[in-house]
Copies of this chain bind each other. A is one copy, B any other.
Amino acid sequence: MLAADLVALTDQPPFARSAVDGWALRAADTAAASAAAPVVLRAAGAVPMGAAATATVVPGTAVRVPTGGMLPPGADAVVMQEEVEITSETVAVRRSVRAGENVVDRGIDVRAGETLLSRGRRLRPADLGVLAGQGVARVQVTRPPGVAILATGDEVVPPGVRLGPGQVHDMNSAALAGAVRAAGGLPTVLGIVPDERTAVEDALRDATAIHEMVLISGGSSVGERDVVAEAIEALGPPGILVHGVAVRPGKPTVLAAAGGVPVIGLPGNPVSALVIFELFARPVLDRLLGADPRTGPWRTVRARAATAIEGAKGREDYRRVRLEARGTEVWAVALPAGSLVLTSLVRADGIVVLAPGARVAEGDEVEVRLWG
């Protein structure tokens, strides 16, 4: 992620170049040329590759030039070598050549002073090429924000530990760490905290002291959400900004801040946690990164609903779908709505967002936000 605008230092290309292997000439000299009456020019040397053109094109002459070679002074066009007949001293041109033909003008790609890449740009391979073309070997990029990841829940144990009765493995920490990393953050998995106010508060206080963002995914014991909310509130102002969102899956969400550090309480359920991450945590992370919002994570495709899809009542519904090509059309197959079905995220290609109570009929066009 670029930390500052990148302004072009030099024109790109830095000089007028030939686009082909051929002969640089003055277009006006060839105005009368035809297959029946070729114009014969004097061969007046060659432009070496990777060096200044020393030969000059004067009326009635042509200079050999390689692809990418510098257009010699006096020339305004290049004719391809396949199109001419040469002897050791002459070049016969059998058609009239247009001024500018096969010439790549100086600065046609980039002009010095132009903003080439903006601050917050997530650098792509072509961008690296553009930087290299400017001679830039190093750029200042944003430091990835450190994101602490906590989980609570008395039933939750880390992967790698054998389950006792009634226990489940912590899925959220691994999934959220992957999501943070993919979004450009630097995740630190701090592990599982007992479902107890002081333990959660202590863990959050430590986490907010040395990270730029904290994610805590709740367990699901009775009243557990309150433990997390109380612990967050105890960290000091501004505290909880939002407690509960009208979203399925993901209702029990806490959006808060402790001093300048955003703290997000995510649902314990892994599908909900990942949806809420995309919806609320990723934009915060983008902000911390200084990311250009246009490079956001969700690209959309249009598809037809393979079955009717019922939205949740009173809540915006983020329904996972699988995409399927049928002939030239793309169809969206809705996956199970149940938020406990994590495999619905593994199989999902994207998300369809339904307004509260909305219903999509089979065959209707839907917009699918691509996922992951």
Complex formed: what's the CA distance from A67 to B223 in Å? 10
Give A146-173 as 1s and 0s: 1 = Cβ < 8 Å from B's Cβ atoms.
Answer: 0000000111111111111111111111
Contact of A68 (CB < 8 Å), options: B48, B67, B223, B268: B268
A124-B342 contact given A21-B222, A66-B222, CB 8 Å threshold? no
Of A19, A125, A372, most buried by chain B (CB within 10 Å of CB) is: A125
A37 at the binding interface (Cβ < 8 Å): no
| Interface pair A343/B49, CB less than 8 Å apart | no
A301 at the binding interface (Cβ < 8 Å): yes
| Interface pair B133/A370, CB less than 8 Å apart | no
| Interface pair A169/B132, CB less than 8 Å apart | yes
Complex formed: what's the CA distance from A13 to B182 in Å? 27
| Interface pair B116/A174, CB less than 8 Å apart | no
Give A171-200 as 1s and 0s: 1 = Cβ < 8 Å from B's Cβ atoms.
Answer: 111111111001000000000000100000
8 A Cβ contacts from A16-65 to B = 17, 19, 21, 47-53
| Interface pair B153/A110, CB less than 8 Å apart | no
**Given the complex, which residues of B lie within 8 Å of A172, measured CB to CB?**
129
**Given the complex, which residues of B lie within 8 Å of A168, measured CB to CB?**
13-14, 68, 133
A83 at the binding interface (Cβ < 8 Å): no
| Interface pair B124/A165, CB less than 8 Å apart | no
Interface stretch (choices A134-142, A208-216, A228-236, A353-361):
A134-142
Contact of A128 (CB < 8 Å), options: B155, B177, B343: B177
| Interface pair B221/A178, CB less than 8 Å apart | no
Complex formed: what's the CA distance from A174 to B135 in Å? 11
**Given the complex, which residues of B lie within 8 Å of A195, measured CB to CB?**
49
8 A Cβ contacts from A260-317 to B = 268, 270, 274, 299-302
A112 at the binding interface (Cβ < 8 Å): no
| Interface pair B340/A109, CB less than 8 Å apart | yes
Of A116, A129, A173, A176, most buried by chain B (CB within 10 Å of CB) is: A129
What is the total number of copies of this protein in its complex?
Answer: 2
**Given the complex, which residues of B lie within 8 Å of A256, measured CB to CB?**
none
Instruction: Identify the closest chain B residue to A273 (Cβ).
Output: B129
Complex formed: what's the CA distance from A122 to B331 in Å? 23
Contact of A299 (CB < 8 Å), options: B70, B116, B163, B370: B370
Contact of A49 (CB < 8 Å), options: B123, B153, B159: B153
| Whole-angstrom distance between the Cβ of A293 and the nearest chain B Cβ | 13
| Interface pair B70/A125, CB less than 8 Å apart | no
Complex formed: what's the CA distance from A350 to B345 in Å? 26
A50-B156 contact given A109-B343, A132-B171, A133-B270, CB 8 Å threshold? yes
**Given the complex, which residues of B lie within 8 Å of A104, measured CB to CB?**
338, 340
A86 at the binding interface (Cβ < 8 Å): no
A12 at the binding interface (Cβ < 8 Å): yes
Complex formed: what's the CA distance from A302 to B195 in Å? 48
| Interface pair B175/A274, CB less than 8 Å apart | no
Complex formed: what's the CA distance from A212 to B173 in Å? 35
Contacts beyond the supplied A14-B168, A138-B160: 9 A-B pairs with Cβ under 8 Å:
A15-B166, A50-B167, A66-B224, A126-B274, A128-B175, A128-B178, A129-B175, A135-B161, A302-B302
8 pairs of residues in contact across A and B, judged by CB atoms under 8 Å: A17-B340, A49-B222, A50-B153, A124-B178, A125-B179, A129-B270, A132-B175, A302-B302
A interface with B by C-beta (< 8 Å): 10, 12-15, 17, 19, 21, 47-53, 66-70, 81, 104, 108-110, 116-117, 123-138, 153-179, 182, 195, 219-224, 268, 270, 274, 299-302, 338, 340-343, 345-346, 348, 370, 372
